[in-house]
Amino acid sequence: MSDLSNEIVNDTAVVMPGAEDSLKEVVAATRSFRQDSWRRFRSNKLAIVGMALVVFLLVVAVIGPFLVQNPLAQERLLYKSPPDANHWFGTDQIGRDVFARVVYGIRLSLFIGLLVSLLEVFVGIVLGAMAGWFGRYFDTIVMRLVDILLAIPYFLVAVAMIAVVGRGTSAVVITLVVTSWLATARVVRAGMLQAKQFDYVEAARAIGVPTRRIITRHIMPNIIQPVLVLTAIGIGSAVLAESALSFLGVGVQEPTPSLGLMISRSQSFFSESPGLLIFPGLAIVITVLGFLLIGDGLRDALDVKDEV
């Protein structure tokens, strides 16, 4: 009895030496998957840096346009002027404020990146889930379409799509969605083929649970982790793709501020005004890097095999 009283103080069990590892395992087991994933994500310093970059860019995109000058206004006496108190990044070759155009360019890039990522994830999940669940002819048609689009160079497909639908922001969004849902569809299909063989799915089908409910409530939560990673990386890829299309002259057109278009128009003036190329280039690098770091952090956080 005296030994028991020495181990209990104020109704709280005293952890004996050597039992700390076991206690940590018990606590880790009782944590939810969401809490455990968030803990691992926070411990990834690069992922936190990426989140900080993305939050900063979102603040710039939302608040910045209300604080900067008109990106279309031309000051004819300030062609390619260096940075000063009124024009932090200087002015471009026709007297427009470069800082204002970079802010609006970041806003446009984030809008296109987020919209394209959401649409391509929706299309990829729907087609991938249907191909994996129903199989047979539908699976063959979807997967052969994926193989064909993957076999054609990306920019060739993009340029062909823009030639059909025209140029501009809407055309860029449609083009990027058409060419970017392929990876998501393949990942979802693979997860669906594996998950529908599980016992709990067979049991749900046996008792007459509707197919839509089985897919949305029982299968998708178990295969959504890689889709989240692809979504984060896809936003950065869409931003880079939009900039590349605008740089080539088949994307966003003047006078809309686009980071890729700004780089394209500034090539001839790099030696005398390097800021015209450097500032929008840095904005693209920071945007893409932020989302790639978040995607890498999500991949590590959602990979339960990393935990022993």
Does 213 score more than 60 pLDDT?
yes
Give the number of domains in the chain.
1
Question: Is 7 a domain residue?
Answer: no
Give tens-digit pLDDT for 105-115. 999 999 999 99
pLDDT in tens, 95-133: 888 899 999 999 999 999 999 999 999 999 999 988 988
Please say if the pLDDT value at position 19 is more than 60: no
What pLDDT does residue 250 have?
Answer: 83
Beta bridge partners of 12: 9
Q: Which two tokens stand for residue 210?
A: 């509707």
**Residue 5 included in any domain:** no
CATH number at residue 127: 1.10.3720.10
- State yes or no: pLDDT of 2 exceeds 60: no
On whether the pTM is more than 0.85, the answer is: no
Domain that holds residue 137: 32-306
Per-residue 3-state assignment (H helix, E strand, C coil) for 85-119: CCCCCCECCCCCEHHHHHHHHHHHHHHHHHHHHHH
* pLDDT tens-digit readout, 144-160: 999 888 888 877 887 88
pLDDT of 167: 80
Whether the per-residue pLDDT at 187 is higher than 60: the answer is: yes
Q: Is residue 24 in some structural domain?
A: no
Structural domain includes residue 220: yes
The answer to whether residue 2 is domain-embedded is no
**Does position 34 have pLDDT exceeding 70, yes or no?**
yes
How would you classify the pairing of strands 8-9 and 12-13? antiparallel
Average pLDDT over residues 231-235: 91
pLDDT digits (tens, 9 = 90+) for 265-276: 888 777 778 888
